Structure 1
Amino acid sequence: MDLLEMGLLLLGVLTLLLGGGVWIAMSLMACGWVSLLLAGKMTAGQILATTTWGGANSWTLAALPLFIWMGEILFRTKLSEEMFRGLAPWVGWLPGRLMHVNVLGCGIFGSVSGSSAATCATIAKIALPELKRRGYNEEMSLGSLAGAGTLGILIPPSITMVVYAVAAEVSIIQVFLAGFIPGLIVMALYSGYIIWWSLRNPDKTPPDDLKHLTFRERLRESANLIPCTLLILLVFASLIFGWATATECAAWGVMGSLAISAWSRMLTWKSFWESVMGTVRLTCMIMLILAGASFMAVAMGYTGVPLALAAWVNSLGLSPFMLIAVLTVMYIVLGTALDGISMILLTTSIVLPMIKAAGFDLVWFGIFMVLVIEMAEVSPPVGFNLFVLQAMSGKDSMYVAKASLPFFFLLVAAVAIITVWPWTVMVLPKLAFPG
C-alpha cells in the first residue's frame, strides 16, 4: 500500500468514527492504532502507554486546569453585572454607545476566562436584557456579542493557546504575549464596525441615558471593576516581565479569583464545589483528547504520511500567502463540524511541517490558529457562540448567524492583517525573549 492510499484509508477511518458519534479522543486513538498496524509496528500498546504518559507528564500542562479553574470561579461571581455597570458610563460619547460594552466586557472577561463560550454566555446574560430594555437594535446586539465572545480564546491567558503550545512544543508565555496586539486589533475592528454601522443607522441607536452622571458618579459606578482589573494586570505583568512562569501565573490567578469571589460575597461551598467540578470535567475532556492526539501524531510519524503530505504541498510551489489562504479555508470548513481544541489536535502533526517549510514562526501560527478557530465559533451550523446566543435570545439559528456574519468577515480581515504584517504578533515575544 503506497502512502496516498494509506493516508486516504486513515482519513476514511477517522471520518467514519467521528461521523458515528465516537468520542474524539477514542477516534484519534483508534486511528493511531490502525496507523501502527499499517506501518507494521506490533507494539501499539507500548507506544500508546509511552505517549499518553509523556503527553500528560508535563509541568507546562499544569497551567491548563488552573486557568480553567480561574475562569470557573469568576463565572460564578457578579463580575459580568458589575462590568456592564462599570463600563457603561464611559462609552456614551461613542456612536453605538452601550454596544461597545459588549466588546470591552468580553475583552476583559476573556482575559480571566480563557473560554469563548463562557465569555459569550457570561456577558450576554447581563448585556442582552439591558440592551433590549434600552431600545438597542437586537440584531446588532446579538452580532456584536457573538463576535466579541470569541475574544475569550484570543486575549491571554487562553485555554486554546495552552493546548496549541503543548501540541506544537512552543513556549506558552510566548504564545500568550503574541496574542495581546492581535486581540487589541480585533477589538478595534469590532468597535470600528459598530461606529460605522451606528453612523449609517442613527435612528437605531437610542440616546445616551447616562450622560447626566458626574465624573465622580462614573468613578463610583466603576469602583467594583478595580479588583478584577488589578488581577488582570498582575497576571499580565508577571508574564511580560518574567516574574513567574505561565503555571505560576495561573496559580496566582486562582488565588486572586477566590479573593474576588469572597470579596463580592459570592464564594459559598456550593459555588466553590461547582467551580471545582466544572474544572475537573473540562480538564479531563481536554487531557483525554491530548492523549489521543499525541498517540495519533506518533503513530502517523511511523507511516510517513505527514512528511509525504508536507513534501507534496511543498512541491506545488504555493507562495506563503497562498498556503495561509488554503489553510484558512480548510480550518473554516473543519470549524463547521469540530470544536477549536479538536481542530488543533487533529491537524498539528500534519500542518506544522508545512508551516516550518514555508518559513512561518510556530508562535505566529498559533495566533493564526486561534483566529480561524474564532471564525469557527461564529460559523453555522455548529458555532458554539451561535448556540449560546440562540438559547439566550430565543431567536432561530439563521437569525443569529446572519447577525454575526459581519464579525466573521472582520476576523478574516484580522487574519489578513497579521499575515501581511507578522510583526503585530511577534513584536512582544521578541521583546521579552530577544534570543
Structure 2
Amino acid sequence: MDPITFSPFLGVLLLLFLGGGIWVAVSLLLISIIGMWSVTSAPVTLVMPQTYWSALSGWTLTALPLFVWMGEILFRSRLSDDLFQGLAPWVTRLPGRLLHVNVLGCGVFAAVSGSSAATAATVGRMSLPELKARGYDERISVGSLAASGTLGLLIPPSIMMIVYGVSANVSIGRLFIAGVFPGLMLMALLMGYIAIWALLHPGKMPALVERMTWRERLYRLRLLLPVVFLIVAVIGSIYGGYATPTEAASLGVAGSLIIAFVSGGMDRVAFRESLYGATRTSCMIGFIIGSAAFLTSVMGYSGIPRALANLINSYGLTAYPLLAALTLLFLILGCFLDGISIIVLTISIVLPMAQAAGIDPLWFGVYMVLVVEIAQITPPVGFNLFVVQLLTGRNIFYVAKATAPFFVMMLIGVAILITFPAIATWLPAQMM
C-alpha cells in the first residue's frame, strides 16, 4: 500500500478507537498491529516485544518515574503553604499583587516537580482559598493558576521533555537546559498580563491591608530555603555536569523526602500513596511510550516518515509555514488528548518533517513542549482545566473562559520562540 494513502487510513482508524473510549496506549498498540499486518510479513510477536524492550529498557528513562515520585511526594508536603507565605511579601507592590504568587509559585514548584497537574494542584490548593479570602477576582485567580500550572511541562525537570528526548533520541540534559529561558519568558508574559489587567481593572483589586518591613520580608524568605536547596541539587547538578538527569532525579527524591518529613507532611499513609501514585503514572506513561515506539517501527516499515519528508521537500515548505501548521495541529489534538499522548503519537511523523525543513531537533523539542503546554488548557480535554475545576468546584466552561486570555499570551510566547530561536538554543550552546 502507498505510504501517503496508508497514513490517513491509520489516522482515521486511530480516531475511531480513541473516540470509542479505548485507552491511548491500547489504541496505539492495535493500530500498530494492523499496520504491521498491512505493510510487512514480519512477525508481530517478534517485532513487538523487541520494540517495547528497546523503548523501555534504556537507563535514561529511569529519570521519569523518579521525577514523577518527587512530584507526588512534594504534593503531599507543606511546600504550597511555604511558597505562598514566602513569596507573598515580595509581590505586594506589583500591579496585581498576590495574583503573581500563582505564577511564581508554579514556576518554583515546576523546577522541582516536572508535572503540570501536580504543579497546579499543589499551588492552587493554597493560593486559591487565600486569594478568595482576601477579595481577589475569582476569574483572574482561576485563569492565572490554570495557565501557570502548565509551567511544570517546560521548566526543567520536565517529564514531557524526558518523553520527547527518549522518543526523538535527543539529550535530556540539553533539553532541560534549553527549557530554562523559554520558561522564564512564559512566566514574564503571564505576569505581564496580570499587571496590565490589574491596572485596567482597579475596582476588582482589594485594598492593600498588609504592609511588611524589609526585616519581615527577609525573615519570610527562610520558608523558601528548602525548595531553593532542592532546585540547586536537582537542576544545578545537571547544569554543572556533576550528575546525569537520572542521578539528579535520585537526589531530588531524597531531598523531597527530607523536606516532606521535616515539614510534617509525610507519614506512612502519605508515603504509600505517593509511591502508588508514582507507580500508576509511570506505568501509564511507559505503556504509551512502548506502544508509540511500536507504531514508530511500523511507520519505518511502511516508509511514511520518508514519504512525508520527500513531500515536504517537493513542496519546498519552509520552517515558518510548517510550524504554523504544526501549531494548529497540536492545538486541535489538545482538545482530545493529553500532552504525553500528543508527543508520542506524532513524534515519528512530525520530527522527520521538521528535520526536512531544516529545524534543529533540540529547539523543536522545546517548541513542541511549549505548544503541548497550551494544549493542557484547551477544552474539552485540557488536563489542567480539570485539575482547577476540582479545586474550585466551577464547571469546565467557566475555567476555560477564565483561562482564555492566558491562552493568548502563551500563543504569543510560541510566536516569540519561533521568531527568536536563540531563546532556547543559546544556553545549551554555551554549556557544550
2:213 maps to amino acid: T
1:352 maps to amino acid: L
Q: Are 2:40 and 2:301, in contact at CA under 8 Å, matched by a contact in 1?
A: no
**What residue number does 1:382 align with?**
381
2:266 maps to 1:240: no
CA RMSD, Structure 1 to Structure 2 (Å): 1.1
**What residue number does 2:416 align with?**
417
For structure 1, the 5+ residue unaligned runs are none
Q: Are 1:146 and 1:385, in contact at CA under 8 Å, matched by a contact in 2?
A: yes
Q: Displacement of 1:220 after TM fit?
A: 2.4
2:202 maps to amino acid: P
The 5 Å alignment of 1:341-360 reads: 341-360=340-359
Give the TM-score taking structure 2 as reference length: 0.98
**What residue number does 1:273 align with?**
272
**What residue number does 1:299 align with?**
298
Q: Deviations over 1:334-364 (max 9, x none)?
A: 0000000000000000111111111111111
Q: Are 1:307 and 1:350, in contact at CA under 8 Å, matched by a contact in 2?
A: no
Matched residues in 2 for 1:156 and 1:15: separation? 32
Matched residues in 1 for 2:169 and 2:330: separation? 21
Q: Displacement of 1:263 after TM fit?
A: 1.2
Q: Displacement of 1:175 after TM fit?
A: 0.4
2:155 maps to amino acid: I
Matched residues in 2 for 1:275 and 1:394: separation? 24
Q: Displacement of 1:208 after TM fit?
A: 2.3
**What residue number does 1:263 align with?**
262
The SS at the match of 2:150 is helix
Could you list the runs of 4 or more consecutive aligned residues of structure 1 that deviate by over 3 angstroms after TM superposition? none
Matched residues in 1 for 2:4 and 2:168: separation? 25
**What residue number does 2:317 align with?**
318
2:134 maps to 1:134: yes
Q: Displacement of 1:223 after TM fit?
A: 1.4
Q: Are 1:110 and 1:151, in contact at CA under 8 Å, matched by a contact in 2?
A: yes
**What residue number does 2:50 align with?**
50
Tell me the matched-pair count: 432
Matched residues in 2 for 1:371 and 1:76: separation? 27
**What residue number does 1:98 align with?**
98
Matched residues in 2 for 1:2 and 1:357: separation? 20
2:356 maps to amino acid: A
**What residue number does 1:109 align with?**
109
**What residue number does 1:199 align with?**
199
1:24 maps to amino acid: V
Q: Are 1:62 and 1:247, in contact at CA under 8 Å, matched by a contact in 2?
A: yes
**What residue number does 1:373 align with?**
372
Q: Are 2:111 and 2:155, in contact at CA under 8 Å, matched by a contact in 1?
A: yes
Q: Are 1:143 and 1:407, in contact at CA under 8 Å, matched by a contact in 2?
A: yes
Between 275-284 and 311-320, the greater mean CA deviation after superposition? 311-320
2:293 maps to amino acid: S
Q: Are 1:156 and 1:179, in contact at CA under 8 Å, matched by a contact in 2?
A: yes
Matched residues in 2 for 1:329 and 1:155: separation? 23
Q: Are 1:161 and 1:176, in contact at CA under 8 Å, matched by a contact in 2?
A: yes
Q: Displacement of 1:12 after TM fit?
A: 2.2
Matched residues in 1 for 2:229 and 2:328: separation? 39
Q: Are 2:146 and 2:385, in contact at CA under 8 Å, matched by a contact in 1?
A: yes
2:136 maps to amino acid: Y
Q: Are 1:310 and 1:351, in contact at CA under 8 Å, matched by a contact in 2?
A: no
Q: Deviations over 1:18-43 (max 9, x none)?
A: 11111111111111111111113231
Matched residues in 2 for 1:363 and 1:170: separation? 7
Q: Deviations over 1:255-291 (max 9, x none)?
A: 1111111111222111111111111000000001111
The SS at the match of 2:373 is helix
Matched residues in 2 for 1:254 and 1:151: separation? 20
For structure 2, the 5+ residue unaligned runs are none
Q: Are 2:161 and 2:369, in contact at CA under 8 Å, matched by a contact in 1?
A: yes
Q: Displacement of 1:221 after TM fit?
A: 2.3
The SS at the match of 1:348 is helix
2:423 maps to 1:429: no
Q: Displacement of 1:91 after TM fit?
A: 0.5
Q: Displacement of 1:319 after TM fit?
A: 2.1
Q: Are 2:312 and 2:357, in contact at CA under 8 Å, matched by a contact in 1?
A: no
Matched residues in 1 for 2:252 and 2:267: separation? 19
The 5 Å alignment of 1:33-44 reads: 33-44=33-44
**What residue number does 1:167 align with?**
167
The SS at the match of 1:95 is coil
Matched residues in 2 for 1:170 and 1:88: separation? 38
**What residue number does 1:395 align with?**
394
Give the TM-score taking structure 1 as reference length: 0.97
2:152 maps to amino acid: G
Matched residues in 2 for 1:179 and 1:337: separation? 25
Matched residues in 2 for 1:5 and 1:108: separation? 47
Among all aligned residue pairs of Structure 1 and Structure 2, give the percentage whose two residues are the same amino acid.
50
2:168 maps to amino acid: A
Matched residues in 1 for 2:19 and 2:312: separation? 27
Between 303-312 and 86-95, the greater mean CA deviation after superposition? 303-312
